Structure 1
Amino acid sequence: MGELRSKAEHTEAILTGRRICVVVNTHSRRGRRLYPRVIGTLRAEGFEPIRAFAVVDPRRLRATLDAALAESPDLLVVGGGDGTLSAAVKHVAHRDVALGVLPLGTTNNFARSLGLPLDVPGAIRVFSTGKVADIDLGVAGDREFANLASFGVSVEVAGKVKPWLKRLLGRAAYPLTALTILPRHRPFRAFITADGRRHELLTHQLNIANGRFHGGWQVARDISIDNGRLVAYQLGSGKRLRLLLETLVRATTGRWRSLAGGPFVVGQEMYLETDPPMAADVDGEVRLMTPITIRTVPNGLRVMVPAHFVDS
């Protein structure tokens, strides 16, 4: 979509020109409550938005993002959960505009992968003290994604977790909902071909990650959203008891694992087959089925990050 400025030029344009548009998902109670604070804090940091949009109807989100981008901002500030930010990623990808992330969701996986503060003042401060980085995207079939493609029990969890439980417990709502589904969930067999090697596993849950976080917890210390690699990993095995125990551990400790010591498959492109065929949850959208090819798009998205973010 045209030639991109250098990252240094783009950073300078944001810090000096301060041409921004703002889109906040106010359908959620948190977004509605924080919207005035977002605008006030932006102004206090020296940003006067060209236009600001409060999205009450989620069905209008994509049209609203188009309207914001039509103003040609240097920085598009988007506030919401991972679903809202996933929609924004698809609009901003490959454009000469940077995405400014306001983490207003439950798990905030994307913001965590970027090393962003999770409070409104801290996240906004990055817009005036940070830098523009180019990060990787994943592509599942023809759908670009920022965080994760997942298969198995999590697809059911995403459809059944209660909004009131998310408000009450935050990110712990997801593994706790999984515990109610697992007793009747049947395992599936997955075949992953990556870098010429074929891997077979039996599991209840398979994830293929571009980002570093899942469910608000770090998957592993040495995963990066900017290293040109995808990481596939299973939660538990085909045995329900093992997955129940691992889910409980994840819910209570968010334990760290390393690529060097965990059950990971790493590659730039992966071909996934499952028996039986499975639905794919791609950053919250369940529209694809296996078999499916998933690959990385290096430097597919411009985003504003803290100055200490390692941009490769």
Structure 2
Amino acid sequence: MPTAPQLPILDLHDALTPGAPRSAEVARQFRAAAQDSGFFYVRRHGVPEALIAQQFTLAEQLLTLPPAVREALSIRHSPSSRGFEALGAQTLDANAHPDLKESFYCGLAYPEEHPYVRAGYQTYGHNQWPAQLPDAPTQCEAYMQAMLALSRRLMQLMALSLDLPENYFDAADGSPMVTLRLVRYPPHPPGADEHTFGAGAHTDWGALTLLAQDHHGGLEVCTPSGDWVDATPLPGTLVVNLGDMIPRWTNGCYHSNPHRVRNRHSGGAARYSIPFFYEPDYLAPITPVPGTVAPGTPPLFEPCTAGEHLRQMYLKTYAPQAKTWAPTAPSP
């Protein structure tokens, strides 16, 4: 498989805190990547490698539990869409076969009395945990908190990249929507046709995705020219990509590009990856940031809340399960 990185690498050393010396330099690099494919690596990102390694161990433990255990905790039984998702349950590319992957979903442990939990907003519901792995809730919460801290910092760097105050997006982060997904891809089938993927071509729906991938690789990114390039695993890095919320927030200035997965380089082994999806508060308004709409011209997108945006994206893939989505306004 290819070894040379084909996506930009942002080194976050001396840029991990507000006002850090290299913040402006990294923000310029962020802008260049965001105006191109919307994909880049981050290194020296502050998330302990031991924590990431533990998460991969947990991913393998979860996704090799007996089928009866996974079925009992299926995402189909969860109004908040958390738990196990079976092989072939999702089709990210409508022109391809069902995706060859299986997953486990969880999210932040918001308390029952939180108003968004009481309202039944999807990403604020309760997790499902297998009794066979009692440490899983604590371990996943620690991982999510580490990734959440990094996501918040990346949002600050994005603000700087747009010539906005460093804390511009902080106001949208009151009770963020967070989804952690642990994914297992079986080997790519020998002789598979061109419509067979571990994950079909798609863009992510939300704000930021922070991906930890194992050493096998398989993630492919579509560049603005239409070429597909490998997001080769690089030790000590995470892959970051912008979701569809960011073009909406920047009036098309920043991009979210398609990507897909084919587990073709593992020598017959399963591939594991751990995407962390960061979205702002459910009720955060998503309107073009200052400086992105030319005077006298309308914005490219209708204003909405973060929750409304995700609901629109969700319905495109999971229309039959649309009833699991909560209203887009708070209950009285």
Q: Do they fold alike, i.e. is TM over 0.5?
A: no
TM norm structure 1: 0.25
Q: Which has the higher strand share?
A: 1
TM norm structure 2: 0.24
Q: Which has the higher helix share?
A: 1
